Every structure is written in C-alpha cells, then in structure tokens.
Amino acid sequence: MTEEPTNDAGQALWQVCVEQLGQELPEQQFNTWIKPLTAQVAEDFSKVTVYVANRFKLDWIRAQYAGRISAMLESLYGQPVTLELALAHRESVVRTYVRPPSGERHAPPETVAVAVPTVSPEETAAPVFRTRLNPALTFETLVEGTANRMARSAAMHVAGSPGHLYNPLFIYGGVGLGKTHLVHAVGNKLLADKPDAKVLYIHAEQFVSDVVKAYQRRTFDEFKERYHSLDLLLIDDVQFFANKDRTQEEFFNAFEALLAKKSHIVMTSDTYPKGLANIHERLVSRFDSGLTVAIEPPELEMRVAILINKARAENAEMPEEVAFFVAKNVRSNVRELEGALRKILAYSRFNQKEVSIQLAREALRDLLSIQNRQISVENIQKTVADYYKIKVADMYSKKRPASIARPRQIAMYLAKELTQKSLPEIGELFGGRDHTTVLHAVRKIAGERQQLTELNQQLHVLEQTLKG
C-alpha cells in the first residue's frame, strides 16, 4: 500500500526531479522505469522514499537509476538527501537505503543498509540477479563512425531481437576501441526493452575465477544453473581463456546450452577467432560460427565527434578546431583520446582559461613531445635493462625469474604507453612473445602502478629518461 504524500513542497521537488530525468533519459527508459514511480518526501526533505511496483523493478532501479535520482535530488535541494526505495504493494515494505551521491558520475549507488521488516524468509532468501552492466555504456553514448559501423549495427540487431541472427556475435579489435562499451550497450538496450530478460556481462578473467571457485567448492551445479539459464551472455576478452583447459570446457558447455535454448552470446577479443592462441579448435570454430566483426581504430572525424560529445557530457565546450587539433595528434584509441580530453579540461579549469589550441598544446605537451621524439622499443628495452641492472638480451630471453620477468613486463608496459606499436608488434620485439603475454604485462603494471608508490616513481623516472 502506497503511503500518501506528506507535503506539497516535497511533491513539487519530486515532480521536478522526474521531469529532469525525463529530459536526460531515452523516452522508452523513462516511461518504463521512472514515470511510474511515486514518492513520499520527509517534512524536512532529509529523506525521499520512492515506491516501486515489484521486487525486480526495485533491484533494477537500485542498480541503474538510484545513483542518478539521488544526485538529482541533492542538486535540486542543495543538500544531501537520503534516498529510500520501497515496495509499493505491501503493507510491510522492503527498504533499501542508498547513500547520497559521492560525486562520482556514473558510480553505482552503494547500498548501506537493507532492512526487511516483516517479509517471509523465502522472499528474503531469493537471490538478487546481478547483470554487472554499467548503465552509462549505451548505444546513445557510443559515437558511430566507419570504424565501428558494422559492429554497432550487428550489436543493435542482437539487442533488438536476440537469439536469432548473428549468434554468437564475435567482436574483435585493439585496446580501447569500444568493444566493452558496445557489449554493455547490447545488454542495456535489451533490458530497457525487456526488463525480465536474464542478462549477464562478465569479463573472461572473472569467468575463469568462477570456474576455479566452482571447482574448489564443488558447486558446479550452481555454476551451471547460473550460466546456462541466461537469455544473453556478454563475455569480454575471451583471449584470456588461453591455456585454461577446464575453463574452456565449461565455457564450451555453457555455449552449447545457451545456443540450444536460443539464448544469445556476444563475445569480444583482441583478435579474430582463428588468431586466438592456445584455445581448443572446437571452441574457436564455435566462436566463428555466427558473425565475426572488427572494430577498427576511429578515423579522424569520428575522433573529433567523440571529443566533442565527451566534452559536452562533462558540461564543457570543445571548439571544433581544438577537437581537430587533438584528434590529429592522438590517433591510437578512444581511451587515449579520453585521457587527453581529461587533461585539457582539468588544465582549463585549474588555470581558469577557455579551451583553445594553445591551451590544448600546453596541457598535452608531454604527449606531444613523446610523439615528436619517436621513442623506439629498442630504446625502452635498453633504458629499462640499465635501470634494473639486467642484460638487454634478457628482454628477449625465455628466462622467468622475477628479477628478469618483472623488468621485462615494465618494458612491455612502457612500449605500449610510449610507442604506437601494436601488441603483436611489441610481442615480436620481445623475443617473439604472444600478444596476450604483452596485454597481461600492460594490464598488470598499469594496475600495480595505481597501488604501489615505489613502482609509480620508478616508472616516472623511466618515462622522464626516455622522453629526454
């Protein structure tokens, strides 16, 4: 039973919040999810209780929209507002409290307390199905260009009528080109159209770890129940299955079960199926049995459009001439383009100057000087070997002790960061190593760099030495 609203000013606040969300969200999403909501606002505006029709919708609103609603209420009211989600149809409500926004734009809301007053045990025990989708990664926010046109249109088709054509859909391309964004977009679109669909996004590494856990805990039945019952499985970076026999077997089983019941599978990888190393032939041929499409590095106009759109999403203006200047200088992938944009906007805000070519030049001077100096992989290998006092030859050798393997991984990371070489090219220059080895090294060092101050400092010294 929905409680009656307690104050008119509170209702007005809620109405404005709903209207603003209506302007932000695609119409269908708004009509399905936001419009039916009712709310009760506390007298002192400290808390807003939003009533949702059923448990599924409650979970979905909490995962996809609660952070945005909470942020909107806070910005309208000017102070933090506690958002509470409650089931509308029962006298005893299920309450989920969401912390006021933390400032992070698309961060999922954090549930700080779930109190279930008088709900029967079976209901409380019902597991919440988590899609792991990032609601910010949609088709609307993905810029279309020649580089991703085919992949995008195949993905749209799958989202619109899953289980039919292009099953599995296999999307491949280099780092930071939008593969992950595209698969999330498929899941988000399907769920917006069919809220009851069982959709799961998972990175291949997480799948490996789920297999290991199921193995250790002898919970393969649950594992199968979880994966085999999906309507749409989105699995990212399947090259990580290399050499993992048990994972490949479980994935094969899941794959067959899903296809048999006309569920859809969308996969991404850094290479096309036949280019995958150390993955069983029967799996490779399954990967290739639907539609395989590539995403290429974005062309100039697409890079310009991405910069302008992303600046707008940050409430900033990027004049077209500046966008062209940046796009001409940052060519490799979208992630780097985003990094360049962040630098420019931060530089502009910090110095309180408008975004111009001159400002972009100053903000990106490190990046531009790297490109001008054309650092070579050989130079990186020598500098890193000298720094860690190992032989340059160890950069190509098969030796594995940590004292050698780690500097080698650092050199691979720097080669990816500071040169335009592709992963396979870098692998070749490190004694004919596989590109997945390079990708693993790049990710490992990039991750550790965030955590370990000492490593960060060492990398900084190496970068400065290399940039001269």
In the region spanning residues 38 to 97, those forming contacts with ligand ATP, defined by CB under 6 A, are none
Of 295 and 462, CB closest to ligand ATP: 295
C-beta of 37 vs 143, nearer to ligand ATP: 143
| Of the residues 57, 62, 68, 181, which one makes contact with ligand ATP according to CB under 6 A | 181
- Residue 97 pairs with which residues in a beta bridge? 84, 113
Output 180 or 419, the one with its CB closest to ligand ATP: 180
Identified binder of ligand ATP from the candidate list 22, 100, 163, 176, rule CB under 6 A? 176
Q: Which of 192/442 has CB closer to ligand ATP?
A: 442
Is 179 flagged in the annotation as binding?
yes
Among the residue ranges 35-43, 168-176, 283-291, 387-395, the one whose residues contact ligand ATP (CB under 6 A):
168-176
Letters for 122-161 (x = contact with ligand ATP by CB under 6 A, - = none) are ---------------x----xx----x-------------
Binding segment toward ligand ATP, per CB under 6 A, in 121-129, 171-179, 238-246, 256-264: 171-179
Q: Which is nearer to ligand ATP, 224 or 443 (CB)?
A: 443
Asked if 178 is part of the footprint of ligand ATP (rule: CB under 6 A), the reply reads yes
By three-state DSSP, how is residue 38 classified? strand
Question: How many residues comprise the chain?
Answer: 468
Tell me if 17 sits within 8 A of 69, measured CB to CB.
yes
Please state the closest distance from residue 176 (CB atom) to ligand ATP, in A. 4
Q: How many CB atoms lie under 10 A from the CB of residue 281?
A: 8
User: Which residues contact residue 441 at a Cβ distance below 8 angstroms, ignoring those fewer than 6 apart?
Assistant: 408, 409, 412, 413
Binders of ligand ATP: how many residues, by CB under 6 A? 17
Query: Minimal distance in Å, beta carbon 333 to ligand ATP?
Result: 7
Phi, psi angles (nearest 5°) of residue 266: -120, 130
- For ligand ATP, the closer CB: 137 or 214: 137
427 is in an annotated binding site: no
Name all contacts of 195-199 with Cβ < 8 Å and 24+ positions apart: 195/32, 195/56, 195/57, 195/60, 196/56, 197/162, 197/231, 197/232, 198/129, 198/229, 198/230, 198/231, 198/232, 199/131, 199/133, 199/230, 199/231, 199/232, 199/234
Which pair of tokens denotes residue 448? Answer: 């550790």
Dist. CA 467–CA 417, nearest whole Å: 12
Q: Which residues are CB-contacts of 249 (< 8 A; sequence separation ≥ 6)?
A: none
Least distance to ligand ATP, CB of residue 293, Å: 13
E strand intervals along 31-176: 38-41, 47-52, 82-87, 95-98, 111-115, 169-172
Q: Determine if residue 271 is labeled as part of a ligand binding site.
A: no
CB 155, min distance to ligand ATP, A:
12
Stretch of 2-10, 125-133, 179-187, 279-287 contacting ligand ATP, by CB under 6 A? 179-187
Residue 180 is labelled as binding a ligand: yes
Round to whole Å and give the CA distance between 8 and 217: 55
Q: Which is nearer to ligand ATP, 135 or 173 (CB)?
A: 173
Our finding on whether 177 is near ligand ATP (CB under 6 A) is yes
The torsion defined by the Cα of 422, 424, 427 and 428, in degrees rounded to 10, comes to -110
Q: How far is the CB of 205 from ligand ATP (least distance, A)?
A: 11
Please give the residues from 245 up to 274 whose contact with ligand ATP meets the rule CB under 6 A: 270
Q: Give whichever of 52 and 308 is closer to ligand ATP, judged by the CB atom.
A: 308
57 vs 68, beta carbon nearer ligand ATP: 68
C-beta separation of 7 from 49 below 8 A: no
String marking each residue 311-350 x if it binds ligand ATP according to CB under 6 A: -----------------------xx--x------------
**Residue 40, strand partner residues:** 49
**Least distance CB 270 / ligand ATP (angstroms):** 6
Shortest distance, position 236 Cβ to ligand ATP, whole Å: 7
- Gyration radius from the chain CA atoms: 25
For residues 400-417, one letter each, b for 16 or more C-beta atoms within 10 angstroms of the residue's C-beta and e for the rest, the string is: eeeebebbbbbbbbbbbb
- Report in angstroms the alpha-carbon separations of 183 from 33, 179, 337: 22, 6, 20
Q: In 3D, which of 274, 284, 289 has the Cα closest to residue 252?
A: 284
What residues make contact with ligand ATP under the rule CB under 6 A? 137, 142-143, 148, 173, 175-181, 270, 306, 334-335, 338
